[in-house]
Structure 1
Amino acid sequence: MTTAPVASGASGVAPGPVRPPAIAGAFYAGDAAALRRDVAAMLEAGRAARAAEAPVPKAVIAPHAGHVYSGALAARAYARLEPARERLRRVVLIGPAHRVPFHGIALSGAAAWRTPLGDVPLDQAWARERLAGIAGVAVRDEAHAAEHCLEVHLPFLQATLGDAALVPLLVGRAEPAQVARVLEALWDGPETVLIVSSDLSHFLDYDRCCSRDAGTAAAIEALDSAVIGPHEACGCTPVNGLLSLARARGLRVERLGLCNSGDTAGPRDRVVGYGAWAFHDPDGDRARVPGAAAAAASEPGDAAAAHADPAAGTEALVRAHAAALIRLAAGGLEHGVRHGRAPGLDLDQVPAALRAPGAAFVTLTRAADDRLRGCIGSVEAARPLALDVLAHGYNAGFRDGRFPPVTAEELAGLCVSVSVLTPAVALPVADRTDLLGRMRPGVDGLIIEDRVGGQVRRGLFLPQVWEQLPDPALFLAHLMRKAGLPETHWSASVRVSRFETRGVKATPWAGSGAGSGVGPGVGSGAGSGALKATA
């Protein structure tokens, strides 16, 4: 990696090291003028294939072979993003590592990546802040140095999105759930787009390639992450991570094209398949509203209360939509039990307050003894509250690594709690003693962060934890332990935030056995079993 000045143009980008091009002259033209002509011609065809009123996607899958093979199809994806040129400020570009084996997901340590068309700045500060504390994510410049799957996209990015900054990520040996977690952390608002770089089947004859790729396309369009493996797509892990997140968020998929190297510039006896898809967020054009309290403001009459008192606004939201919140969480869990995956959701059928961005935790407990059975949630409001609750209903039953998956036989004995979070606010403290004196037992949820040995350690406790740990010193000791820190840890770099929750708890399957058929519908008559408001 060389060091050279980097042009400004993206938040958090500063002069620093530049990753030089590794595949210029091989995967695409090495001469700037020739590259500009090639990309312009491919984009012109891509624009011609774009309908006049085509929406701008939130995410796309696009191929990464040499431009002569798959560039025309990649250009279709970038042509769909181009109308949002003035809005899009950041591109999260993720693909599979082909050359350097490693575990986890690799960030780049560069300040910019270079092509013959110039430098693309990286938004390092933005990405690292959001990915801090996620296991397996680290800077691995050696993995990026000779990799082609991300670089091959840069000329299209430069031609269509101008000054948009780049967040490049390579996936090594990792699970799709880890990729989904990373993408969710980077999801952000309409100013950020996600691009998954992947080719499809490799080195089959033409007819077998067409058959296999048709099956892969069907799985992608059904948001089915269970059937796509390395023989279907070299980027199967990032693709499956996107699919699981897209299903949880209720995204709609549109095929942009499907072809292979036998259709473009190669022989037909040994071909590579390519596909491109657009993923549309139903709330993609909705303004992001920070914090769950703002969701209450979408209901007439609640806006003033939410603005003046976020906790009061969140409480009003939960009381007004308690049954719907329980039905969403229970529906997510039961759909997972019945079908092995998270359900989708038609947001048009959801009350306006639940379509606004919000963050929630879903907690499962055993009704007989109140023992924890699963708990997963979000800290930041990054998607519609209804989708957040639905997704975490599923996640609490199937993605809490502390517990085995929930079974159908368990449903009748489970309680479901939904806790909606108010926005987290910084709590400046002088030292540990000061923090202990300012903690509000039974009221505060706490987030504690510190950087130790170059890694950010982070822990979160919901206010409900006070029921088991009522003493502030004990509460803080366990929170430190959860963050991976010594119980008595303190340093000048410790950061503390606090929030409140307002929630509702119910036994959705009480008295009806395991086959109650609770679904994610949220009409005014949604049943929720024994319902208890805890706001």
Structure 2
Amino acid sequence: MNTSTRPAAVAGAFYPAEPQALRGLLDRQLSSVAPPSEPRPQPQPHPRPKMLLVPHAGYVYSGEVAAAAFATLPPWREQIERVVLLGPAHRLPVRGIALPTVSAFETPLGRIPLDLDAMALLKDLPQIESADPPHAQEHSLEVQLPFLQRVLGDGFKLLPLLVGGASPAQVAQALERVWGGDETLVLISSDLSHFLSYEQAHARDRVTVERILQFATDLVGEQACGAAPLNGALALAARHGLRPRLLRQRNSGDIPGGEHRRVVGYVSIAFEADPAAPALLEQRSADQRLGPILLSGARHTIAHRLGLPGPPAPDEGAHPALSRPGASFVSLHDAGGQLRGCVGRLQAQRPLIEDVCANAFAAAFCDSRFAPLRAEEWPGLQVEVSLLEPAEPMPVQDEAEALAALRPGIDGLILAWRDRQATFLPQVWAQCPRPAQFLAALKHKAGLPPDFWAADLRLSRYRVRCFNELAYASEDAP
């Protein structure tokens, strides 16, 4: 048996090389994103993450974003026996997917044995090659290892897959063979956009993240450097009925002292096992038909008002959901990705297609925060439609209980107090990733101070199904 080990290659550059310093940094970053450890109330537990998307830059830049994903793992530490780690090849070209020939990877925190049995399951696939040189200096896989060692201990084996020119179908085929059950965690390593201005990166990454949450499988390297492994993994995650949960998003310009001229984007997303997977898969199939119709209806309404050519008005018979009562929000963004209007309803009071078209008109021409949309803005306009599920009350006694009950990346929230009401869609978690930050911003929107609480304040939460027209484009996003 081969007993050779791949030594750490980027220790001292991407993360500390000294074990004690490395443990200290990991613990600080993990504790910065972990839920508060108050005796009461405890946060509502999330389902077990089956797959995580994490960035792979130096810890000073992307460590806290990655930590938000790794902090979800400690409750499942005893279950996870194998980590399948996929990342892009940056240093040397890889024709398909490269497996190493060594039997362990090493970091300053110790050796991690490779899962040789799982590796053997893949070696007959034509896209698999056994090659150590592409792995030798590659950072996209290595930077994840100290985090895994810190949260899982030494009870897991590693299956490292370095992806080059493999197609989404080839990645999904290999991943399916080692998908396993509760004992297997899948980890996808990827950053987002590279070397755009802060504003450009924010706009592009917002769209990319929405596409990832919609299980797009045609991402390109300009959107995510790990597009090759990510496309295949997303195809398989959708097939298995996983539910995505946005954990944290930022770019290198967000760190203290970070420069804004050339930044790199980062995101962490958990894809969780869902007990309602069969119904979820059926819903996703229906949404693939419904989303483009709603987006077309919204765009038709705006184009008609501007006197510009646009898509035809949707036929109400094109989908059974169109004529049923529905509640929606329509959000518009300009060519730079900045919000240009957002209007919606919280309750289903009219046919869905009528609601979407009316909200599209109002978002473009009646949102009091913005001037009415002009014809010259039409070419760069981006349209997003969010369908709201029925809201459910949150029976909390105080703010601490409310913060513990909120589900970042999942919950839209309605705040009502006397004659004041405000809501945030779940998409706002990307800008306000902590529950306290999210709730304080919502209070501000309602005209209340950030420390306000009253016994008669009411909170309700809801989920949305979000459709961004770029997610349905037939060509790659810009």
SS in structure 2 opposite 1:39? helix
Q: Is the 8 A contact 1:96 1:197 kept in 2?
A: yes
State the distance in 2 between where 1:64 and 1:269 align.
20
Partner in structure 2 of residue 230 of structure 1: 221
> What are the residue-to-residue correspondences of 1:316-331 with 2, within 5 Å?
none
Could you tell me which amino acid in structure 1 is paired with residue 177 of structure 2?
Answer: A
Q: In the alignment, is residue 35 of structure 1 matched against residue 27 of structure 2?
A: no
> 1:101 matched to which residue of 2?
93
Aligned position for 1:60: 52
Matched with 2:402 is none
Pick 1 or 2: higher relative contact order, CA cutoff 8 A, min separation 6: 2
Q: TM-score, normalised by structure 2?
A: 0.56
Hey, what does 2:204 align to over in structure 1? 212
1:92 to 84, 93, 106: 84
Cα-to-partner distance string for 1:438-490 (whole Å, 9 max, x where unaligned): xxxxxxxxxxxxxxxxxxxxxxxxxxxxxxxxxxxxxxxxxxxxxxxxxxxxx
Deviations 1:364-407 (A, max 9, x none): xxxxxxxxxxxxxxxxxxxxxxxxxxxxxxxxxxxxxxxxxxxx
* Cα displacement (A) at 1:56: 2.1
Distance 2:129 2:191 in 1: 25
How far, CA to CA, are the matches of 2:127 and 2:217 in structure 1?
21
Deviations 1:303-326, CA, capped at 9 Å, x for gaps = xxxxxxxxxxxxxxxxxxxxxxxx
The change in CA–CA distance for 1:225 and 1:282 in structure 2 (over 3 A counts) is same
Shift of 1:283: 4.5
Measure the CA separation in 1 of the matches of 2:43 and 2:101. Answer: 38
Q: 2:51, 2:186 within 8 Å by CA — same for their partners in 1? A: yes
Q: In the alignment, which residue of structure 1 is the partner of 2:266?
A: 274
Q: Does 1:139 align with 2:130?
A: yes
Q: State the AA in 2 paired with 1:61.
A: L
Q: Contact (CA 8 Å) 2:123, 2:129: kept in 1 or not?
A: no
1:105-124 CA-to-partner distances (Å, cap 9, x unmatched) read: 01111111111111111111
Asked if the contact 1:176–1:240 (Cα under 8 Å) also holds between the matched residues in 2, the reply is yes
SS at match of 2:205: helix
1:17 and 2:24 correspond: no
Q: Report SS of the residue matched to 1:174.
A: coil
TM-score, structure 1 normalization:
0.50
Cα distance in structure 2, aligned partners of 1:284 and 1:192: 20
**Separation of aligned partners in 2, 1:166 and 1:184:** 16
Q: Secondary structure at the match of 2:4?
A: strand
1:174-198 Cα offsets, whole Å, 9 max, x none, are 1111111111111001000000000
Counterpart of 1:416?
none
Q: Does 1:159 align with 2:150?
A: yes
1:329-387 per-residue CA deviation (whole Å, 9 max, x = no partner) reads xx989x89x99xxxxxxxxxxxxxxxxxxxxxxxxxxxxxxxxxxxxxxxxxxxxxxxx
Counterpart code for 1:30: A
Query: 1:262 is matched with which residue: 241, 250, 253?
Result: 253
- The one of 112, 119, 128 aligned to 2:104: 112
Residues 122, 174 of structure 2: 8 Å contact kept: yes
With over 3 angstroms needed to count, the CA separation of the structure-2 counterparts of 1:214 and 1:146, relative to structure 1, is same
What CA distance in whole angstroms lies between the structure 2 residues aligned with 1:203 and 1:275? 16
RMSD: 2.7
Indicate the residue corresponding to 2:230 in structure 1.
Answer: 239
Are 1:251 and 2:238 counterparts?
Answer: no
Query: Is the 2:80–2:184 Cα contact (8 Å) retained in structure 1?
Result: yes
User: What residue ranges of structure 2 are gaps of 5+ in the alignment?
Assistant: 37-41, 293-478
> Are the aligned partners of 1:91 and 1:195 in contact in 2 as well (CA < 8 Å)?
yes
Of 162, 166, 176, the match for 1:184: 176
Partner of 2:469 in structure 1? Answer: none
AA partner of residue 26 (structure 1): A
Displacement of 1:81: 1.4
Native 8 Å contact 1:190 1:284 kept in 2: no
Q: Which amino acid aligns with 1:257?
A: R
CA distance in 2, matches of 1:168, 1:180: 15
1:71 corresponds, among 63, 75, 88, to 63
Deviation at 1:52, TM superposition (A): 4.3
Check the 8 A contact 2:98/2:134 in 1, yes or no. yes
Q: How many residues align?
A: 281
What is the rounded CA distance, in whole Å, between the counterparts of 2:198 and 2:243 in structure 1?
Answer: 29
Shift of 1:127: 2.6
In 2 relative to 1, CA 229–139 (structure 1 residues): closer, same or farther, beyond 3 Å? same
After TM superposition, list the pairs within 5 Å mapping 1:342-357 onto structure 2.
none
* Contact 1:92 1:167 (8 Å CA) reproduced: yes
**Distance in 2 of aligned mates of 1:214 and 1:242:** 20
How far, CA to CA, are the matches of 1:51 and 1:92 in structure 2? 28
Instruction: Say if 2:99 and 2:119, in contact at 8 Å, map to a contact too.
Output: no
Comparing 50-59 with 155-164, greater Cα deviation is found at: 50-59
Spell out, residue by residue over 1:243-289, the C-alpha distance to the aligned partner (whole angstroms, 9 max, x if none): 1111222211110111000012531110000001011122599xxxx
Q: Which amino acid aligns with 1:156?
A: F
Residue 44 in structure 1 maps to residue 35 in structure 2: no
**8 Å Cα contact 1:73/1:275 also seen in 2:** yes
Deviation sequence 1:35-71 (CA, Å, 0-9, x none):
0100011111222279441222100100000000001
Amino acid at match of 1:39: L
Aligned AA for 1:145?
A
- The CA distance in 1 between the partners of 2:245 and 2:193, in whole Å, is 20
Report Cα offsets for 1:148-204 as digits up to 9, x if no partner: 001001110000011211111100111111111111111001000000000000000
For the structure 1 residues 140 and 39, does the alpha-carbon distance in structure 2 shift closer, same or farther, using more than 3 Å as the test? same
